[in-house]
Structure 1
Amino acid sequence: MASIVFGPGNMHALSVRLRILSGSWTFQYGPFICGVQRRWKKPVDSARTRLESRTRDHRLDKLMVQLRNLKLALVVRELISQQRNEYASLQLLSKWRHEVGLNIEIGAFLKKYPHIFQIYVHPVKRNHCCKITQKMTDLIAEEEAVIRENETNIVQRLKKLLMLSTNGTLNMHALWLVRRELGLPDDYRSSMLPKYPHDLYLESPDTLSLVSWDDELAVAKIEEWRKKEYTEKWLAESETKYAFPINFPTGFKIEKGFREKLKNWQRLPYTKPYEKNDLHPIHNVERIEKRIVGILHELLSLTVEKIIPLERLSHFRRVFAMEVNLRELLLKYPGIFYISTKGSAQTVILRESYSKGCLVEPNPVYNVRRKILDLILSGCRNVSEPETAALFAEEYDQASFHELQQNMCQVDTANTVLELETDSDSYRTKCITEKLPYQHFCASQEKRD
């Protein structure tokens, strides 16, 4: 009888046979097998995949992270300023942590920015509270003052937005969502719109209408750039008449034939943003896309920081006749626009307006906001230690200080009464133990009084 030798090779072959017989072994590839085959699938080319595989601009992404921290700090500041004494306990702020959007503890977030938030121990309640620093309060007041001073420029921006629309109207809700991007005050509906009845008209509670067309304002920002390029750089009119400034991010891969396509697209004529094409409708897809690119470029140019969230940009699709997938269109032109996914949102940035993370042509409102952003960037640097508890007590609100002073007076009065009662009781006990006359006790009590 032949003997079976169970060597390493035989044991491996036996295990493979057992797996195939039991059905637990499946081949990944093969034409005729009982298992499930893995077939090759065509890669999906969509806006989401192109957004993930795009060339990233690290400076703009870093800027968006900084602006997100600033936005969170401003939301917390708004919550604290709404309190009666303009301070709030950390216990109360921790209840609003998820509503604000913080993913860390409120105390750790406040300690990261001591130039904005001041944490102290309340002199009466003896709990940790937070108030806004005087430096931050002054910058907020300065921003509001600058917005009031530049009210005429803001009205011109609103008129240009209304002139961009197809029927000269804008939805008030969409306008409210981008009020900070346009530099509008929060009470613009009651404080600013009634001052300019010859320019703006509130047709209904939710619709803002244009009263009169202004030809001087119907000049796009891109047209000013083209005029500058044509006169200063002596370029050909065919190259600058319909061109856009192109600025690719570092590391952008230029494929074969891309330059020729871009050159042809730059020379492609299109209807300008403030021109109406109702009489001569365009059926060419490329010309329609170029017109929408011009509208988006002008819309971003009208903002204070040349930045607008993609979600809020979609509210203007119908009123500006941009009936396309905006994210796909923006990703198609990476030299003009950049979509940043940092800061828990997708934000559209006009690439030509930024250099090294700063605005090329700053405006007064942006300068004040940059000062506030510098408080975020400073972190814990240049922060002096608290000197004494008495110095903090002087900075507290007057109500808490008077309350503390009243409680201290009550405590001192109570201690004095207790001391008198204790002294009289001890003296009475001494008189009894030493058998002194009662008159001596009364005389000494009158002398004490």
Structure 2
Amino acid sequence: MLVLLRIPFAFLNESISFGHFNCYIQKRWKKPVNSAQTRLENRARDLQFDKLVRQIKKLKLILRLHELMSQRRASHTSVQLVSRWSNVVGLNVGVGSFIQKHPRIFEVYTHPVKRNLCCRYSQEMLGLIAEEAMVIRESEMVAVQRLKKLLMMSRTGRLNAHALWLVRTEFGLPDNFRASIINKYPETFRLVLPDTVELVDQDDSLPAAEVEKWRESEYKEKWLSEYETRYAFPIQFPTGFKIEKGYREKLKTWQRLPYLKPYNPSEANCIRTSGGIERFEKRAVGILHEFLSLTVENMVDIERLSHFRRDFNMTANLRELLLKHPGIFYISTKGKSLTVFLREKYAKGCLLEPNPVYLVRRKMLDLVLLQCRFTNREQPLEELNL
């Protein structure tokens, strides 16, 4: 006898839709992505470095505007023309409000003939720009030593001239460093091909890296053993950094790991081919540490740093390598590009060992941050409706 069972349609539909073997709607478990971008977003932030990057970005924008204004043949620059440069310099606010916020930087006046609104830089800001150029000229020998050390870190003793021009501000080089430094010291540098700088004076005595000074002080002042400090780096974790289980042991092992120093580029390939991948990566950390130590402000954009990867024989992903060592480097994501800092050189957003070029740039930054305070402006700015 055939028995018909009446199954409700809603229950049948539910069993079909949410069945375990329905291939159309089955949700599969996916392994969480552990990419460099994910780790960059989930890491512990350092608010002081991020705040400093935002401030420096504003200063760079102001200096870029000054560069564009100084390239004009005319003695005046209208506010309307400055508004057309917004996309060029990366200004994301109105020109009128930007000028109003920085009365210590800009002076607004009406042209006596054309009767249009014009702007110019204040004498105080122009004086600081001239002072920076003067300090860079006076620090010429220091810049020569920095450039010489960079070439000694290269595996061929050569570097691309355009890559050096991109980091001229970071290393305190003048804009015309080809004529003022390279051609001025033919016994040390020379130009080969159109865009390559070569080191002529190959010293037999290799210079000491900046981190070796810290190791010597740790060895003498804290009475640490040479085994603990011989290959170690200074570590300063950010506030809120979570130390996972077993991380301290791995870090201690890594600190004791021998590696080839930055000024021995000829033997780097031997280390990698002999199976020492960890030593090869630690050598890259040493090069990055020394590169940042040679800069004026101990920071650089990662995009500009990547131009030296091939010359320094660093095949590893720079961003992943920097993220592996949060106690040595810090990457700030503020702005259009990523900026990497050397942690040990900073305290509360200021350089611990300032140099003359940094001090002048700090004066510029302080002038930018003053904004509308302690200013007496006679010219009204109601006409700045751009």
Q: TM-score, normalised by structure 2?
A: 0.91
Q: SS of 1:131's equivalent?
A: strand
Q: SS of 1:182's equivalent?
A: coil
Q: SS of 1:288's equivalent?
A: helix
- 1:348 and 1:216 map into 2 onto residues whose CA distance is 30
- Describe the superposition over 1:256-306 as per-residue Cα deviations: whole angstroms up to 9, x where unpaired: 111011011001111111124168434211111111000010011111011
Q: SS of 1:383's equivalent?
A: coil
Quote how far apart the aligned CAs of 1:140 are: 0.5
Name which structure has the greater RCO, CA cutoff 8 Å, separation 6+: 2
Q: Partner of 1:239 in structure 2?
A: 228
Q: Partner of 1:261 in structure 2?
A: 250
Quote how far apart the aligned CAs of 1:193 are: 1.6
Please tell me whether the aligned partners of residues 131 and 360 of structure 2 are also in contact (alpha carbons under 8 angstroms).
Answer: yes
The one-letter code of the counterpart of 1:277 is E
Quote how far apart the aligned CAs of 1:220 are: 0.4
Please tell me whether the aligned partners of residues 271 and 279 of structure 2 are also in contact (alpha carbons under 8 angstroms).
Answer: no
CA RMSD of aligned residues (A): 2.1
- 1:233 and 1:278 map into 2 onto residues whose CA distance is 32
Correspondence 1:333 to 2:325: yes
Which residues in structure 2 correspond to 1:15-414 (within 5 Å)? 17=10, 20=13, 27=18, 30-33=19-22, 36-215=25-204, 218-275=207-264, 276-277=266-267, 280-282=270-272, 283-386=275-378
- 1:369 and 1:383 map into 2 onto residues whose CA distance is 21
Please tell me whether the aligned partners of residues 317 and 323 of structure 1 are also in contact (alpha carbons under 8 angstroms).
Answer: yes
- 1:142 and 1:216 map into 2 onto residues whose CA distance is 36
Q: Partner of 2:383 in structure 1?
A: none
Percent identical among aligned pairs is: 60
The one-letter code of the counterpart of 1:17 is A
Quote how far apart the aligned CAs of 1:120 are: 1.9
Task: Give the aligned length.
Answer: 370
Deviating more after overlay: 185-194 vs 243-252: 185-194
Please tell me whether the aligned partners of residues 109 and 119 of structure 2 are also in contact (alpha carbons under 8 angstroms).
Answer: yes
Q: SS of 2:323's equivalent?
A: helix
More helix by share: 1
- Describe the superposition over 1:105-135 as per-residue Cα deviations: whole angstroms up to 9, x where unpaired: 1111122111111112223222211101000
Residues 19 and 192 of structure 1: is their aligned pair in 2 closer, same or farther, counting only changes over 3 Å? farther
Quote how far apart the aligned CAs of 1:46 are: 0.9
- 2:201 and 2:12 map into 1 onto residues whose CA distance is 82
Please tell me whether the aligned partners of residues 296 and 358 of structure 2 are also in contact (alpha carbons under 8 angstroms).
Answer: yes
Deviating more after overlay: 275-284 vs 363-372: 275-284
- 2:319 and 2:68 map into 1 onto residues whose CA distance is 34
Larger radius of gyration: 1
- 2:332 and 2:262 map into 1 onto residues whose CA distance is 25
The one-letter code of the counterpart of 1:189 is R
- 1:130 and 1:19 map into 2 onto residues whose CA distance is 76
- Describe the superposition over 1:135-160 as per-residue Cα deviations: whole angstroms up to 9, x where unpaired: 01000000000000010010000000
- 2:238 and 2:357 map into 1 onto residues whose CA distance is 27
Q: Partner of 2:5 in structure 1?
A: none
Quote how far apart the aligned CAs of 1:213 are: 2.2
Residues 217 and 67 of structure 1: is their aligned pair in 2 closer, same or farther, counting only changes over 3 Å? farther
Q: SS of 1:173's equivalent?
A: helix
Quote how far apart the aligned CAs of 1:33 are: 4.1
- 1:174 and 1:51 map into 2 onto residues whose CA distance is 26
The one-letter code of the counterpart of 2:51 is K
Please tell me whether the aligned partners of residues 81 and 87 of structure 1 are also in contact (alpha carbons under 8 angstroms).
Answer: no
Q: TM-score, normalised by structure 1?
A: 0.79
- 1:209 and 1:84 map into 2 onto residues whose CA distance is 36
Please tell me whether the aligned partners of residues 262 and 286 of structure 2 are also in contact (alpha carbons under 8 angstroms).
Answer: yes
Quote how far apart the aligned CAs of 1:20 are: 4.3
The one-letter code of the counterpart of 2:177 is Y
- Describe the superposition over 1:374-420 as per-residue Cα deviations: whole angstroms up to 9, x where unpaired: 111111111112289xxxxxxxxxxxxxxxxxxxxxxxxxxxxxxxx
- 1:330 and 1:117 map into 2 onto residues whose CA distance is 39
Residues 32 and 234 of structure 1: is their aligned pair in 2 closer, same or farther, counting only changes over 3 Å? same
The one-letter code of the counterpart of 1:249 is P
Please tell me whether the aligned partners of residues 160 and 196 of structure 2 are also in contact (alpha carbons under 8 angstroms).
Answer: yes
The one-letter code of the counterpart of 1:81 is S
* Structure 2: unaligned runs, 5 residues or longer: 1-7, 381-386
* Structure 1: unaligned runs, 5 residues or longer: 1-13, 389-449
- 1:293 and 1:145 map into 2 onto residues whose CA distance is 34
- 1:86 and 1:309 map into 2 onto residues whose CA distance is 34
Please tell me whether the aligned partners of residues 308 and 348 of structure 1 are also in contact (alpha carbons under 8 angstroms).
Answer: yes
Quote how far apart the aligned CAs of 1:312 are: 0.8
Please tell me whether the aligned partners of residues 268 and 280 of structure 2 are also in contact (alpha carbons under 8 angstroms).
Answer: no
Quote how far apart the aligned CAs of 1:84 are: 2.9
- Describe the superposition over 1:46-79 as per-residue Cα deviations: whole angstroms up to 9, x where unpaired: 1111111111111000000001111111111112
The one-letter code of the counterpart of 1:229 is E
Q: Partner of 1:443 in structure 2?
A: none
- Describe the superposition over 1:183-224 as per-residue Cα deviations: whole angstroms up to 9, x where unpaired: 111111112222111111112220100011235661100111
